[in-house]
Structures are given as structure tokens and as C-alpha cells.
Amino acid sequence: MFESGTGKNSKGKSKYSVVHAHVHLLPANIPDILDVFKSKKCPLKQISKEYLSSLNGKPYLMVGYSDQLYICDNSEILNSLPSQFHRKVISSCIGKGIFYDWHQNRFEENMLKTYLALK
């Protein structure tokens, strides 16, 4: 599981956007991914669930694996990461190339199917 929160003042957040988080459930070898994050200068530290309540609107990137949680909550590091960074890391680790990039792979058919199913 990956979760990323925009925080109140993160780079790229529209002034009209609400503070929110995205949760991604992905099949991946988490230990490999943790190593990639470290090599990309995005250190993840292990935390408890209680730590999450201390974020108070700060941006973060969290990785959950089994019963372990890892987080990067360093705003300077997070603001320096390129768009879709965690998607790119995961896609690279599972051999999917640029499949992660929703700018290039918009999947309009799937969006329409979802819309029609929920209508």
C-alpha cells in the first residue's frame, strides 16, 4: 500500500484543492521498492500508526508492508520529487515501463466504464 498526502502547502497543490491523500494498492516487492526510494534520496523511516496523527497537514509519502509502515515526511525532499515519483518507482520495480504515467496512458475507456457503472 502506498499513500501520499498533499499537505496544506505542498508544491503543485492548487489553491482550490482540498487537503487529501491518495491510496494505492499495488502488487510489488516492497523491500526492493524501499531500496529504490533510498537510492533516489527519498529516505523512508519506520513509524507507528500513531505517528500519522502528528502530521497535521504536512505532505507525506507512506509505504505500508504487512504490519509495517514507512514514511517520508520531509517537505523539502517531497517537493523536489518529480510528478508521479512513487508510481515510476513501482512501475520500474515490476517491469511495466512508462505504464505508470497517466499523462501518457489515460485509460479513458476504463474511466467511462466506471462512470457508467456508478451512474
Residues 6+ apart with CB under 8 A from 68: 46
Distance from C-alpha of 64 to C-alpha of 77, rounded to nearest angstrom: 19
Percent of the chain at pLDDT above 70?
75
Window from 12-26, 29-43, 78-92, 99-113 with minimum mean pLDDT: 12-26
In sequence order, what DSSP letters do the residues of 57-78 get, joined into one string? T--EEEEEETTEEEEE--HHHH
Residue 33 clears pLDDT 80, i.e. is over it = no
Number of domains in the chain: 1
pTM: 0.62
Mean pLDDT (whole number) for 65-71: 82
Q: Which of 67 and 29 is assigned the larger pLDDT?
A: 67
Q: The domain containing residue 19 runs over which residues?
A: 2-118
